[in-house]
Amino acid sequence: MDFSRVELTPQQQSFAGVVRATLGQLMTPDVREHERETGDGFSEKVHLALAERGWLTPAWPVSEGGAGLDPICQRLLELELERHDVPDITAGTTLLVWTAVEKFAEPELRGKLKAGVAAGTARFCLGYTEPDGGSDIAAAKVRAVRDGDEWVLNGSKIFTTGAHNCQYTFLITRTDPDLPKHKGLTMFLVPLDTPGIEIQGIRAFSGERTNIVYYDDARISDRYRLGGVNDGWAVLHGPLDEEHSIGDGEDGLADLSIGRHFLRPLEAALDSAIGWARDSARADGSRPADDPAVLARLGRVATEIEAGMCTPGPMGRVKGSLALVEGAAELIDLTAPLGVLSPGAPGAPGDGSIDYAHRFAQGTATYGGTIEVFRTIIAQHVLGLPRPGYPGSKVFLPRSRAAAGTPQS
């Protein structure tokens, strides 16, 4: 691994300055307040402004609505978006889904959507999880039944983050319940303005908004099908593997750990706790920072952050979440009662960053797939261990086989 410093050219340094100045103008107090109030992870004003500069699809050629940036400028843009806390959840899910749309959509639809993605007007969310399905995506029960050139959708999805800000959802459905679990699935890119679709918001403990999406005899054209009928698992795998950090593709510029996103709130919380330890006074006039035990606890959180940032692949997702959960609890315990003050509350250290990190941490065991799912990925894809067989595990069997009494495995 190359740890040498990346030397920026004058053009790259100039670009970084332009990005900083632009984002400083875009991230106005009203944008930040909107995010605090809604938890959307999205600002249409900022999203469209980024699109005007080609920054939603920075690697795409300018002729296709992108910015044509080299890999280093792409990374500079990414880092500045993070440093300015730009709400980017919907931008991320859109690019994740686009890889499947580009490969499997009909040419006419693909061309129309590509222009919309670059312009910021075509946005995609992930229609994977179901209320009773947990992280077992292949156990999808949302039914898609063919009726001529249309499909009729029925069922519901949960944790469809960004659905209320998107035009399409990347929906996994069950089209043949008689086939084995992974075989009877079909993927669709469903227009969310279709009659029969209802989006209902849910607020997470952190304040973030996600959604339940209901499908009640919603009819869509077959042109929105991605890939073959009952071949949805193959269509899904590209975006899913990218989200789970399975496979190659590292260019040496990206974060080593995919759990890095979970550590940013903890970094802000740690900075706030350090400020509290340095600047506040106890009853005896001493500062918390004068206490070796306090310094040791702060140092332990800092060490875990570094460990989380340096843990690669799917292991980094697990480590990032665990470091946040444990570190945020440590900082809450250390700074209480100030640490539990919410953002915006008078006297809250770092404008409530410790409280926010603690609340955000609670959901990170499930975001993008549970920790248990990632531990299975580590076991099978990293360590090469066999797939486990649990007593009483369920499988989908063709009705003919089940009726014949075929033993389940």
- Residues with catalytic function: 243
CA distance 161 to 191: 15
CA angle 309, 311, 313 (to 5 degrees): 115
Give the orientation angle of helix 71-83 with respect to helix 10-26, to 10 degrees. 30
| Share in percent of the chain as helix, strand, coil (round to 5) | 50, 15, 40
CA distance 332 to 355: 7
CA atoms within 13 A on the CB side of 332: 16
* CA 60, 63, 66, 69 torsion-angle sign: positive
* CA 296, 297, 301, 307 torsion-angle sign: positive
Instruction: Provide DSSP, 66-123.
Output: S----HHHHHHHHHHHHHTT---HHHHHHHHHHHHHHHHS-HHHHHHHHHHHHHT---
CA distance 102 to 242: 15
CA-nearest of 82, 77, 85 to 54 is 77
Spatial contact of 181 and 396, defined as CB atoms under 8 Å apart: yes
Spatial contact of 196 and 144, defined as CB atoms under 8 Å apart: no
User: What does residue 298 show for φ and ψ, rounded to 5 degrees?
Assistant: -65, -40
Instruction: Record the tokens describing residue 316, joined without a space.
Output: 């980094």
DSSP annotation of 352 reads T
